[in-house]
Chain A
């Protein structure tokens, strides 16, 4: 055969063209065609035109760069990371270096089996992380000496602020409450407490605890132990003084120190708060980390946040679930003590695993070593004739320096890539941690000798310095005595323990999680990669700005993208959760009104359908809630809004509105609604929970909102982590930009900043590369396409469920937004079947149930997101249709009303395999109701959990082992 010359491909053909959007979006182009046909539209454009009101459409592409490939984006992230400089940090202030055991790093932090799960609302498929969280609570309770701990809070500063709210809530004092704050608390803690106090009309007095005067009106006090300057002081007499005056004492503390120090619960504290970060969670330039909170039995019903408690399942076996939920904002709304929704589950799990891995002896050894190193450093500094401010400490020294010497010492330190903490003009703080080595100590001593050469050998200072903890403050009580903290010393044991717990939970790695209002979309591997890079996660939040140029660039780019996506002028990345975003946004509105001399604007209009956080946030921001009615279609009743806006025109501060509505509909009247509020002097706060239906198609700023928050953990791909972390940045119009949240340690440049809402200036920076990467990977076109597919998927589900279930709310043309509410209330009368039964039966089909009873009791809200492939959507739809058939069997009397596949759901493996089977249906129907489950089945590890039993008998730490037995 004659050789044929093939033509060389043109170089253009060699340019990488892989579109990430086609990896992020589940349905293939042919699937999308099919879905469009099912919902009855000829094209995507025609469909979207029908769903979104024309007057709010963004009729141009977002001004963002085109999407880039995963490889390019990883390279770009590397370039950005390289501009961060990782210095050794001795700054302290609540953030310490830590060594994350690699077995935990890989199997928890970098493991989608843990990070893609949701808040454990469905306890039967969440026993793994519930156990890890129970371990966390046990760690906190044992170390603080206070028996009731929660499953974590956003950070130490907000935990302290929550403690103040709880103190006020349990106080019987009427009139302005006064709250005393130790001037030796971390400055960011003081600032966040002051912000929270100011809006609620609590008077805060900051001074030395020895000077505190418990005059009438003082409801409580906050002290730091060890103090921010490292001092370890005896607060026993102080607690007695406070209690004699009827005041509660909150102690902000450090879990590692408490392995050696007498715990707050033993010297009279009523509440302990702090940050568990140094238990194996990287500093991450400020977060995310798990704050903690513990108190005594007396006030457990006022505890903020999630509590995990032990209960039993339908077969009487021990089972864990979230306890005492009636405390929370989603039930109590404006009467809740706090707006806190989420926890920091992933980080609390890491911290708990660090304790499981090291055990009490290991933790004590780490603490003793840190303390010994600190003693060594103290001896060396004294030998250099430095004066130490305190005689007792755990890991932090405060050194007196001449004002002329301070900058020189700090310069020398910088030369050795070391960050110290300047305190005023004549002191320097040095906080040690478990990562510090003898070489590091030698470097520190060289810095303080202002000499390159070490003036003497470290060993000359004495091998074993005397402990600097007063005898009366040394810990004598045992902690972490439960076997779980003793059984997992080898890496093999540790690995298997984490894998065992992971296997009990349903995450996105096994099935879709169609939780309405939660947006459980793909958390792509490339997006997640940078989270564990040292350049992003080893920076101290107060590291000098010249060392954090990479982060600054990433913040600027992310802020600019979010501003373009929302149609706003400025962004604050500080809020650590949607609830905090709401709070921060309302504070901005409040500051705006006040700056105009408009001090009486305190009324906040909130639609009846709003999420419970909205009214709780409004109350925290010092506003009064006025509820606006919904019309029969679930939309805001515009006439009622007009009437209430007019009635309150002199005091109207804001309207809080979710868009598309919590009912899953694009309300056509939204522009008018915003206009009405503006006419009466109010500002419009848009809750961005449903932003996944807007990106690229319409923008809050164009619609008429003045502020919105974004749940980066929903729309912008930060994983839910099994119930945290989250990020809730706020975007504001130009007239509100000067009022964005400030920070006491880092100047954020806002001219008339409102108070700090988080401990760290940029919230949780180490997870921001995730959202940054998502936006850069998708580009303008990809982001918009994702929104369209998310809306299409929801409409596809709604359409295919026609005839089986009623969709509660739709727009006049029958469309929904990115989620839909399925009405299951009629089955209570027709078959005695409750929404709970249907949700639990969905577990038998291998899926996570949709959102139950929000926003309408007795209904299911389904949100598929754009990431679920059509095949998975179809499997889910078929499961729901099959369940409708099972309900029909009951309706028609073919199945028993009280003893059927639904009322007994979910079915565990133990139950269906057990020798005895006395149910009026087959084992196969119980456990393998669909072909898909026979191919792959995620089992619930416990049967239906008895919520009432657990709430009547609260157990929120690891129970004695006998109660786990048969």
Chain B
């Protein structure tokens, strides 16, 4: 069984959204289920601070040994922080996807759009658990 924390929001593309102390900024990463399916992550290609993405736009790619997956932006917004530590140690995505293995922090253009994301329950159903 994958870890699907109850207090986060999810997309059907297996990204999660986690609130931060700044109400307008959220943390974005891939779910525990997604990292398990990918296997050992070897490289993450992330955007630059200041890049803007629409909802569902591709903001990067994540590579395992035999798979590569596009990363879809769960909400429209502007990148305010990039997890630079993943360059040196991409395996953090496998070990701690919801913590040190996050991908980016995003200033959300429209906080109301969050209501369109999946709840933990809904995401569990989506992955068949």
Contact = CB atoms under 8 A, between A and B. Distances in A.
B43 A951 contact: yes
Contacts of A301: 43, 45
B125 interface: no
B66 A326 contact: yes
Contact of B42 (A332, A853, A948): A948
Interface string B16-30: 000000000000000
Interface in B85-109: 90-91
A947 B43 contact: no
**Most interface-central of B41, B45, B65 (chain A CB within 10 A):** B65
Contacts of A331: 66-68
Q: Is the interface of A mostly helix, strand, loop or mixed?
A: helix
A644 to B, nearest CB: 23
A853 B43 CA distance: 22
A887 to B, nearest CB: 21
B40 interface: yes
Contacts of A751: none
B24 to A, nearest CB: 28
5 contacts: A301-B45, A326-B68, A331-B66, A948-B65, A951-B63
A332 B43 contact: no
A325 B43 contact: no
A286 to B, nearest CB: 35
B72 to A, nearest CB: 14
A952 B89 CA distance: 8
Nearest 7 A-B pairs (CB), nearest first?
A: A948-B40, A951-B42, A947-B65, A326-B68, A326-B63, A952-B42, A948-B65
B33 to A, nearest CB: 15
A331 B41 CA distance: 15
Contacts of B91: 948, 952
B35 to A, nearest CB: 12
Contacts of A948: 39-42, 64-65, 91
A735 B17 CA distance: 57
**Most interface-central of B41, B66, B90 (chain A CB within 10 A):** B66
B45 to A, nearest CB: 8
A55 to B, nearest CB: 39
Interface string A934-966: 000000000000011001100000000000000
A331 B42 CA distance: 15
A301 B42 CA distance: 12
A948 B91 CA distance: 9
Contacts of A951: 42-43, 63, 65
A331 B90 CA distance: 20
A331 B66 CA distance: 7
Interface string B44-64: 010000000000000000011
Nearest to B94: A948
A627 to B, nearest CB: 16
A853 B91 CA distance: 24
Nearest to B40: A948
A332 B90 CA distance: 20
A331 B91 CA distance: 20
Contacts of B42: 326, 948, 951-952
Contact of A325 (B39, B41, B66): B66
Contacts of A952: 42-43, 90-91
Contacts of A853: 66
B100 to A, nearest CB: 16
A326 B90 contact: no
A948 B42 CA distance: 6
Contacts of B90: 952
Contacts of B68: 326, 331-332
A331 B39 CA distance: 15
A342 B102 CA distance: 36
A312 to B, nearest CB: 13
Interface in A314-354: 325-326, 331-332
Interface in A351-365: none
A331 B63 CA distance: 10
B58 to A, nearest CB: 10
Nearest to B65: A947
A222 B71 CA distance: 34
Nearest to B42: A951
A661 B66 CA distance: 23
A325 B63 CA distance: 10
Contacts of B40: 947-948
A948 B90 CA distance: 10
A537 B45 CA distance: 46
A325 B67 CA distance: 8
A951 B90 CA distance: 10
A456 B36 CA distance: 79
A947 B45 CA distance: 19
A476 to B, nearest CB: 34
Given A326-B43, A951-B42, A952-B42, 13 more contacts: A301-B45, A325-B65, A325-B66, A326-B67, A331-B68, A332-B68, A947-B40, A947-B66, A948-B41, A948-B65, A951-B43, A952-B43, A952-B91
Contacts of B41: 948
Nearest to B63: A326
Contacts of A326: 42-43, 63-68
A332 B67 CA distance: 8
Nearest to A301: B43
Interface string A845-877: 000000001000000000000000000000000
A947 B65 CA distance: 6
Nearest to A336: B68
**Most interface-central of A301, A326, A331, A853 (chain B CB within 10 A):** A326
A331 B64 CA distance: 11
B103 to A, nearest CB: 17
A946 to B, nearest CB: 9
Interface string B64-89: 11111000000000000000000000
A347 B63 CA distance: 31
A301 B87 CA distance: 13
